[in-house]
Chains A and B, each alone.
Chain A
Amino acid sequence: MQHYSDEEILALYRDEASQNMALDHLIQKYQQKLYWHIRKIVIAHDDTDDVLQNTFIKVWKGLVNFKEESQLYTWLYRIATNESLTFLKQKARANTTSLHPIEYQLSKSLESDTFFSGDEIQLKLQQAILTLPEKQRIVFNMRYYDEMPYEQMSEVLETSVGALKASYHIAAKKVEEFLVTN
């Protein structure tokens, strides 16, 4: 399917007759980017699938109020990030049996995840990333894997560029230390 520009998708959405088509194009264009962004936060595929669907439903319901002051993809990323974090909080609240924090549980689940194909060093890297606090983890993933410019990250996470740079370097330092010591 040919990828439409954000403006074209929004134009399709504004016409009631072509709203379904707009939804199709929106999903086709952003499903993979959002999936991988969410996956790196919630780790498990099934959880990612749930969060991805919730994200698109929220996007669809909120699109009517979307003001084109920000770009569509930054708005989508923001919703996906918030949905992922909310999901993790709910999961942590629901899991009353474990004494460990949710990140530890995610780290342990990686070892037996059938949809994780990394070798030992890649597993170590993921475990190192999972030791980071929530915000630092998101910043690290967006910069290291998605190679997103700080300016875009600033729009998505609503944080200053300086704070993001500092956050990334602290995160990278912690990951490095984890890799060296483990």
Chain B
Amino acid sequence: MKHNEDNFNDEPNLPLDPNGKSPFGLPLDYFASFEDKLKKKLEQENELSEFPVLSSLKRINVFTVPENYFNSVKHAVEYKTELTAYPKLESVKLPVYSELDEEYKKQLHASLNYRIQLANELKPYASLYLIDKVNTFAVPEFYFESVAERVKESVHAVKESKPSVLHTVLDFIFGKKLAFAFGFIFIIALSVYFNRASSTSDEPGDCKTLACLEKQEILNNKAISNFDEEQLMDMVDVNSLGKQLNLKEHKTDSLSIKKENILENTTTDELLDEL
């Protein structure tokens, strides 16, 4: 077997000391304490040998710490040390953010964003933006304590003044909906009545056509006297004229006289005479 130093020499990548010594270092008194450590280890092994199951188990750390715990410990210690100079401040318990529930964190986030949005909205209006948003209105002392009682009194007063059964029935009969319905029916009945009345009244002078005008009225109108035969024919309501003539002269004659017959057998003069 070769000497150790020879082995090192064979290894081309090891940066050997120019004096030929090993480049590896050792903890102080390593070899002095090595024996003790070894003895302890053997003792433990012997102890556990009585418990074969236990000795067969792998010895691992099953506990974990929060992420970055060891990094933060250093800062926490520094912070605590600083605080010792301020006893009052030290007594105040810091809020622990991780204890807040997720819902609150979300709400807080949304609320902050909303307030920023509100502030941004006002930014273009410099004067308004600078004014403190305060409630400048005041209320008398103990006002809100008395509101509930007064409102309840008013509500009960309204309840007590409820109408009697008779009033309720009358209200129903003359209520808005029924009144509207009665009114509607009344209007329809009236219109039907007047419509019938007007269709049965065949008295001369009210049918608003030339045929219904009195002869004197036509003769008095100078404009009509200048009309030629065709213009007069156009202005005459033939049906009304037929009815009028039948009513006046031949009440017993048939009502189905054709308009062509009337026009053919009637000259302008006759027509005016008849009217």
Contacts and interface: CB of A to CB of B under 8 A. Distances in A.
Interface of A: 20, 23-24, 27-28, 31-32, 35-36, 39-40, 45, 49, 52-53, 56-57, 60-61, 115-118, 121-123, 125-126, 143-145, 147, 149, 168, 172-173, 175-176, 179-180
A176 B144 contact: no
Interface stretch (B47-55, B88-96, B130-138, B228-236): B130-138
A124 to B, nearest CB: 9
Nearest to A123: B136
B153 to A, nearest CB: 9
Contact of A39 (B124, B137, B147, B152): B137
A172 B121 CA distance: 10
B125 interface: yes
B122 interface: yes
16 contacts: A23-B148, A31-B144, A35-B144, A45-B138, A56-B151, A56-B154, A61-B158, A123-B136, A143-B118, A145-B133, A149-B114, A176-B126, A176-B127, A176-B128, A179-B127, A179-B131
A150 to B, nearest CB: 10
Contacts of B151: 23, 27, 52-53, 56-57
B128 A117 contact: no
B140 interface: yes
Interface residues of B, number: 29
Contact of A180 (B122, B127, B135): B127
A32 B139 CA distance: 11
A45 B152 contact: no
Given A52-B147, A57-B151, A122 B127 contact: no
A31 B147 contact: yes
A118 B136 contact: yes
Given A53-B151, A122-B131, A176-B127, A45 B136 contact: no
B154 A125 contact: no
Contacts of A123: 136
Contacts of B137: 36, 39-40, 45, 115-117
Contacts of B154: 53, 56-57
A179 B128 contact: yes
Nearest to A39: B137
Contacts, number: 91
B208 interface: no
Nearest to A43: B137
A22 B43 CA distance: 78
A138 to B, nearest CB: 16
Top 6 closest A-B pairs, CB basis?
A118-B136, A176-B125, A179-B127, A27-B148, A115-B138, A56-B151
Contacts of A56: 151, 154-155
Contact of A145 (B115, B122, B128, B135): B135
Contacts of B125: 172-173, 175-176
A36 B133 CA distance: 14
Contacts of B148: 23-24, 27-28, 31
B136 A122 contact: yes
Nearest to B158: A57
B150 interface: yes
